[in-house]
């Protein structure tokens, strides 16, 4: 009886708060990258988990049939190329797969932004969506940084091993620091395209906070004031 009740509760959460699952998966990915990155078996496990996350991304994009079909058109070749790159360790396949994944993450982020901006009330799922959208944008730009590094080797230098290519975790860290305007400066873009990508992400981060997050905060405060007034 308890297991059935728990199963019903999980299905209810999945139905009404899909953004929470996506946000949790993104945060778990960060832990897995920290633990597993660098080993061959870890790379395979990260690739499999990444496919799971991509499936969750498409699952969350359920606001529009057209957008969801477009997401599937990005997901299927991205997964195939990702698996082939894992098997053959081919950098060209990895670059194309990363580019498709970046577009998919941006598509999901845009879908969630339209979802959050679509009404004048703030639900719990929209609060989860705000966090999930931030991680989607960070991952999208992280994959663009990875593609830039494949196409233009030496695009990024770091304090540790400045002559080596940056790992995806390092580029993802760069993406998070840019999007949040933290600016740790431990990894520096030196190629023209790399600098442009960094500037675009900085603008996207400021626009996201100014337009979406501030709107959610304002509507939450307004709702609380109306409740206290009544």
Crossing angle for the helix pair 124-151 and 18-36, to the nearest 10 degrees = 40
With H, G, I as helix, E, B as strand and everything else as coil, classify residue 157. strand
Higher pLDDT, 85 or 38: 85
Question: In this model, does residue 1 exceed pLDDT 70?
Answer: no
| Cβ(179)–Cβ(138) below 8 Å | yes
pLDDT in tens, 118-176: 777 777 777 888 888 899 999 999 999 999 999 999 999 987 777 788 888 899 999 99
Strand partners, 157: 188
Strand partners, 189: 156
Distance CA 24, CA 213 (A): 19
| Cβ(133)–Cβ(113) below 8 Å | yes
Question: In this model, does residue 5 exceed pLDDT 60?
Answer: no
Distance CA 221, CA 209 (A): 16
Sign (positive or negative) of CA dihedral 126, 127, 132, 136: positive
Reported as a pLDDT band with limits 50, 70 and 90, residue 7 is very low
- The full set of domain ranges for the chain reads 2-229
Reported as a pLDDT band with limits 50, 70 and 90, residue 10 is very low
Q: DSSP labels for 114-143?
A: HHHTSSSS--HHHHHHHHHHHHHHHHHHHH
Going by C-beta distance under 8 Å and a sequence separation of 6 or more, which residues neighbour residue 14?
21
Q: What is the pTM of this model?
A: 0.84
With H, G, I as helix, E, B as strand and everything else as coil, classify residue 46. helix
Average pLDDT over residues 46-61: 76
pLDDT in tens, 190-210: 999 999 999 999 999 998 888
């Amino acid at each position: 009886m308890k297991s059935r009740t728990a199963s019903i509760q999980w299905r209810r959460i999945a139905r009404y708060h899909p953004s929470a699952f996506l946000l949790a998966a993104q945060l778990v990915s960060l832990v897995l990258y920290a633990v597993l990155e660098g080993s061959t078996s870890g790379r395979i496990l990260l690739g499999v988990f990444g496919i799971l996350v991509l499936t969750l991304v498409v699952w969350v994009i359920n606001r529009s049939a057209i957008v969801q079909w477009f997401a599937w058109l990005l997901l299927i070749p991205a997964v195939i190329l990702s698996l082939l790159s894992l098997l053959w360790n081919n950098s060209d396949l990895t670059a194309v797969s990363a580019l498709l994944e970046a577009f998919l993450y941006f598509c999901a982020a845009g879908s969630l932004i339209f979802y959050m901006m679509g009404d004048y009330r703030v639900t719990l799922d929209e609060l989860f969506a705000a966090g999930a959208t931030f991680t989607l944008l960070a991952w999208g730009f992280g994959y663009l940084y990875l593609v830039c590094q494949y196409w233009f080797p030496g695009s990024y230098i770091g304090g540790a091993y400045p002559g080596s290519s940056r790992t995806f975790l390092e580029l993802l860290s760069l993406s998070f620091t840019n999007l949040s305007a933290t600016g740790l400066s431990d990894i520096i873009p030196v190629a023209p395209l790399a600098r442009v990508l960094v500037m675009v992400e900085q603008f996207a981060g400021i626009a996201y906070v100014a337009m979406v997050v501030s709107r959610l905060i304002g509507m939450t405060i307004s709702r609380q004031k109306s409740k206290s007034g009544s």
